[in-house]
Amino acid sequence: MSEIVELVLEDAKDRMDKAIAHSRAEFASVRSGRAAPQLVEKLTVNAYGADVRLIEVASISVPEARQLIVTPHDPANLEAVERAIRTSDLGISPSNDGRSLRLNFPPLTEERRKELVRLVKKMAEDGRISIRNIRRDARKELESAEKDNDLSADELNRAEKDLDKLTQSSEASVDDALASKEDELLEV
């Protein structure tokens, strides 16, 4: 395999791996029946006159399957953290004990579960589209290398087959992550 092909395929693999990781991170941000720190750690809190992520100003623990405890590092930020959680789209009202916030996650309704499954399927499709765009870009690079006589037609064919295998395995990874998130969402 020529050096150009290796570089293009390696770059495509790295970018596809990042797309897979991004899709998984998106899935983790979707609330299932369980409490997970990823649900709140990216919320924006106005602390010290600046907008910062919640994870930077508070610690998050999971004492029970349906409960999170958010404890600000500085007690002065408790109200700002509570405001950020109340105004988020989580639909949860935290209970404030003066030092920390307790978030109780009620079980999801069947309708809400189906709505979340649709949302996760859209996220997965976005991930697959991103992977296909990476494949398209890599293919353009390979074809331009062939036009510049840096690759033979046979090398181009082999490289495109390798690229297609890489694309299929990356899409399969997104599909596997989607299936496990769907199972988690539909679990009662």
Mean pLDDT of all residues in 15-24: 94
Least confident interval from 19-23, 86-90, 130-134: 86-90
User: What residue ranges define each of the domains in the chain, with the CATH number in brackets?
Assistant: 3-29+109-186 (1.10.132.20), 37-104 (3.30.1360.40)
**What is the spatial distance between Cα 67 and Cα 62, in angstroms, rounded to a whole number?**
6
**pTM higher than 0.75:** no
Tokens of 163: 């690229």
User: What are the DSSP calls for 106-170, one per residue?
Assistant: PPPPHHHHHHHHHHHHHHHHHHHHHHHHHHHHHHHHHHHHHHTTSS-HHHHHHHHHHHHHHHHHH
Mean pLDDT, the chain, rounded, equals: 88
Q: How confident is the model at residue 167 (pLDDT cuts 50, 70, 90)?
A: very high
User: Would strands 101-104 and 58-64 be described as parallel, antiparallel, or unpaired?
Assistant: unpaired
| Amino acid letter, residue 66 | R
pLDDT for residue 188: 64
pLDDT for residue 48: 84
Indicate left, alpha or beta for 47 from its phi (over 0: left) and psi (-120 to 50: alpha): beta
User: Quick one: DSSP state of residue 50?
Assistant: E
User: Quick one: DSSP state of residue 100?
Assistant: -
- Exposure string for 145-173, b = 16+ CB within 10 A, e = fewer: bbeeeebeeebbeebbebbeebbeebbeb
Closest to 26 in 3D by CA, of 178, 160, 187, 153: 178
pLDDT for residue 185: 83
Residue 59 has pLDDT above 70, yes or no: yes
pLDDT for residue 10: 94
pLDDT for residue 161: 93
pLDDT for residue 1: 63
Tokens of 38: 């990823």
**Tens-digit pLDDT profile for residues 122-155:** 999 999 999 999 999 999 999 998 898 888 889 8
